[in-house]
Amino acid sequence: MDGNSAQSDVALAGWVFNIQRYSVHDGPGIRTTVFLKGCPLRCLWCDNPESQLIETQFVFWDDRCIRCGNCLAICPLSAVVEEADGRKRINPEQCDLCGLCVDQCYAGALEQVGRSMTATEVLARVEEDRPFYDESGGGMTLSGGEPLAQPQFAYELLKGARARGIRTAIETSGFAPWHMWERVLPHLDLILYDLKEVDPERHERFTGVTNEPILHNLKWLAGTGKAVVVRRPVIRGYNDNPESIHALGRFVQELKTIHEIDLLPYHRLGQSKYKRLGQEYAMGDEPTMKNEEVNGYRDILLSYGLSVKIGG
């Protein structure tokens, strides 16, 4: 590692909400996935709602709470509110993020999500599992949120990992200016690219943003020679229909150099997070999809000469 890269990643800090070790679903081999806060999309089915804002948030675990009232008593701004059912919530308009309520919660029912870390701190955690990467062909994956919502931090993490001889990947919505991609590309081995919908109207209606830069960036990435796997979450009532899958197949086939697609059936693993954040889950009681429910969509994509896997 050269002195310049060591010096730069010492100084720079970013917002991280989880560092998941021994991950096997975010790229090849055993990986450490670094989840960054911040995302410009608001997908109705988002399973990491705590990733959306680039700031500290507090979550409340109702099943851990012993109703001791310490959090209510300790808050100097009366920002902790008790609901009629005993649940606690934090009024963000009053809270100054001091964390006293979390410190005084003996049962661990209040938890702070998201903290500022330097790139060096993150990379030190990533390096702890280097033997597993070397043995399995794994490495570090940046996820989120959208990693490129913190472009400088993502750049320093990817550059620092590669300088340390660690393979890198990014899981991304693709929603970022191309100049940001140009900066991180030299430090990436693999791109896991979430392409939720090709139709622009449907994409904006269910994610809150246009897919124009997403499609544009994927076309440019196809010409770089980088390894890219397209990931398609399959969501009932949104993109779980032959028309949408055919549009996906045609688009990826025309890229020529990208051939792999992962179909990711809808699951409800993020639902409980909304409750802990005091937010409503937009998908309601929509049941989890079974892998076999998307077999027909896999067959459609295979007809376009693509390699298809169900699950990430």
Which phi-psi region, left, alpha or beta, contains residue 108 (left: φ > 0; alpha: ψ -120 to 50)? left
pLDDT of 250 > 60? The answer is yes
Q: How far is CA 16 from the centre of its chain?
A: 11
Q: Which domains does the chain have, with CATH numbers?
A: 3-53+115-310 (3.20.20.70), 62-113 (3.30.70.20)
pLDDT band for position 1 (50/70/90)? very low
- Please report where in the chains the tokens 């003996």 appear, as a residue: 106
Distance CA 186, CA 35 (A): 21
Q: Where do the H-state alpha helices sit in 75-118?
A: 100-103
Taking only the tens place, the pLDDT of each residue in 102-124 is: 888 888 888 888 989 999 999 99
Angle between helices 242-255 and 295-302 (to 10 degrees): 30
Rg (CA), the chain: 21
Distance CA 253, CA 305 (A): 7
Do 229 and 191 touch, CB atoms closer than 8 A?
yes
Q: What's the mean per-residue pLDDT of the chain?
A: 92
pLDDT band for position 67 (50/70/90)? confident
pLDDT given at position 57: 84
Distance CA 261, CA 255 (A): 13
Distance CA 68, CA 78 (A): 16
pLDDT given at position 41: 97
pLDDT given at position 11: 63
